[in-house]
Amino acid sequence: MEKMNLNKHISGQFNAELDDIRNRVLAMGGLVERQLEQALDALAGLDAELAKTVIDGDHKVNGMEVAIDEECTRIIAKRQPAASDLRLILAISKTITDLERIGDACVRIAKAAVDKRAKSQEPLLVSIESMGRHATRTLHATLDALARMDAEQAFELHKEDAKLDKEYEGIIRQLMTYMMEDPRSIPGVLDVLWAARAVERVGDRCKNICEYIIYYVKGKDVRHTSYEDMEKDLHQ
């Protein structure tokens, strides 16, 4: 992935510090992306060993969040950045929170792969796979937009969350049908429901990261705004 387009400073050390947190957030994103891929593979194959790898690996994601957040705080206190530098650090600080939450979603998905009640609903687990792969592609593209700080790409990716929401609603309707037809299936179906919800949350987090990219590039907070207003902000 290409490097973020960062301003250069007279202080070479400040440049190095900004490069460092940039590289670290992208590394964290890469780890989370692998966690998601493995969690979905574990669910598709009901692979308990792979699921355990995902669950055990969550502490690495948590550790990276804490370390990067501490570095962001240190830079703000030491350098007192302004304008785009401050926006960059704030965007990274917010991004790592959402990446950590995606890591939590991966654990939820992986747990469904080892849950005995969920295993009894194997046909339903298959229905999550397509949505999961869509979420994986969205995360990969979001991280690419983050690496390049590409506001236009972030805007286009922002729309993917609505598509994932529709897929989620379809799965919910399917799960409701199963429960109504066979009340004994309810415990297992609920476990599948939690896994589907975790996948849907990945889309929500990617949407947030896209908003942080636009905030850094354009200096506009586009949270809770319409697509029309967001597009206007992009082209001002």
CATH number, domain at 30?
1.20.58.220
**Distance, CA of 57 to CA of 61 (rounded, Å):** 7
Q: Per-residue pLDDT averaged across 65-84, rounded?
A: 93
Domain-located, residue 3? no
By residue range, what is the domain housing residue 49?
12-234
Domain-located, residue 58? yes
Domain-located, residue 174? yes
In which region does residue 219 sit, left (phi positive, over 0), alpha (psi from -120 to 50) or beta (all else)? left
Domain-located, residue 229? yes
pLDDT band at 121 (very low <50, low <70, confident <90, very high): low
Domain-located, residue 138? yes
Number of H helices, E strands in the chain: 9, 0
What pLDDT is attached to residue 8?
56
What pLDDT is attached to residue 2?
42
Q: Do 135 and 36 form a contact (C-beta atoms < 8 A)?
A: yes
Domain-located, residue 7? no
What pLDDT is attached to residue 118?
60
pLDDT band at 116 (very low <50, low <70, confident <90, very high): low
Per-residue pLDDT at 139 exceeds 90: yes
Domain-located, residue 216? yes
Domain-located, residue 5? no
Q: Per-residue pLDDT averaged across 171-195, rounded?
A: 85
**Distance, CA of 186 to CA of 178 (rounded, Å):** 8
Q: Which of 80, 235, 93 is nearest to 155 (CA)?
A: 235
Per-residue pLDDT at 9 exceeds 60: no
Q: Give the chain's radius of gyration (CA, Å).
A: 19
> What is the value of pTM for the model shown?
0.90
Please give the tally of structural domains in the chain: 1
